[in-house]
Amino acid sequence: MQYLLLVLIVVAALIWVGSRSPQHKRRIALLLAVALLACGGVYLLVTGKGAVLFALFAALLPFGRRLLALMRWFPLLSRLWRRRRAGKPADSVSEVVSDGVRMTLNQVTGEMDGEVLQGRYQGSKLSELGFEKVVKLFDYCPEHQQDTRQLLKAYLERMYPRQWEDHLKAQSSPPPSGDLSRRDAYRILGLTEGATRSEILEAHRRLISRLHPDKGGSAFLAAQLNEAKERLLEETR
């Protein structure tokens, strides 16, 4: 009768535990484990078998120390396991794909890159192409591929903020009017009046190599240099 009552109590307890939330289940399981250990210890002490309990405790003590040491790594292992279960890479890389480009963003480092999916540069990384070629991709991207244009624009804004801003300013400003004076043209190229054709070309080459947008210069100043060169070369033809 006593054993039947014990079995009924255990069954009722299991049914009650099964209806609890996962957090409550873990807490109840821990309490039950502690209670069982306590009951076992009391039983061994009452029956005079306490020596067995102490021997068992001494045998498990080294393993307990190792377990405590391993528990320090549990949070890290838990995070890695959750990432694996979720199918996410360990470096938290986001990926967006359009018709023309596959863009990736590393959420940890903030680094952005992409792969060209069609056209002349198909298979190339945006980071390998450089600013000028990525701008060409953007400029020649068909209007109906708005997703690709937006991704390329986001890449340029993030990876080449100053050069992209200068490029937009140069596009929004009116084209050279051709009214640049000879005096201003000489001043822009750093020449004195009467410079020869070779001196004009050399000055332009030297300055444009420093001010070209691909080398961190300004698109507006590069346009001014080109206009000044053309203005002065007209007189040498």
Q: Is residue 157 part of a domain?
A: no
pLDDT > 80? residue 139: yes
> Of 41, 56, 72, at which residue does a domain stop?
72
Query: 128 in a domain, yes or no?
Result: no
pLDDT at 226 over 50: yes
> In the chain, how many domains are there?
2
The percent of residues above 70 in pLDDT, for the chain, comes to 51
pLDDT score of 66: 60
Predicted confidence at residue 127, as pLDDT, reads 92
Whether pTM exceeds 0.85: no
Which tens digit of pLDDT belongs to each residue from 191-200?
Answer: 888 888 888 8
Residue that terminates a domain, selected from 72, 97, 113: 72
* Euclidean distance between CA atoms 32 and 13, whole angstroms: 10
Whether 126 maps to a domain, the answer reads: no
Single out the residue in 72, 104, 127 at which a domain terminates.
72
159-166 long-range contacts (CB < 8 A, ≥24 apart) are 159/112, 159/126, 159/127, 160/131, 160/134, 162/216, 163/131, 163/213, 163/214, 163/216, 163/219, 164/131, 164/135, 166/213, 166/217, 166/218, 166/219, 166/220
Here the CATH number for the domain that contains residue 191 is: 1.10.287.110
Is 67 within the bounds of a domain? yes
* 64-113: pLDDT as tens digits: 556 555 555 556 556 555 655 555 444 466 778 888 999 888 767 778 89
Task: Say how far apart CA 237 and CA 227 lie, in whole Å.
Answer: 16
Give the percent of the chain with pLDDT over 90: 8
The answer to the question of residue 162 being in a domain is: no
In a domain, 137, yes or no: no
Do 186 and 229 touch, CB atoms closer than 8 A? no
Asked if residue 30 is part of any domain, the answer here is: yes
Residue numbers of the domain that contains 11:
2-72
Q: 219 in a domain, yes or no?
A: yes
The residue-averaged pLDDT of 218-224 equals 72
| Residue 211 structure tokens | 């001010």
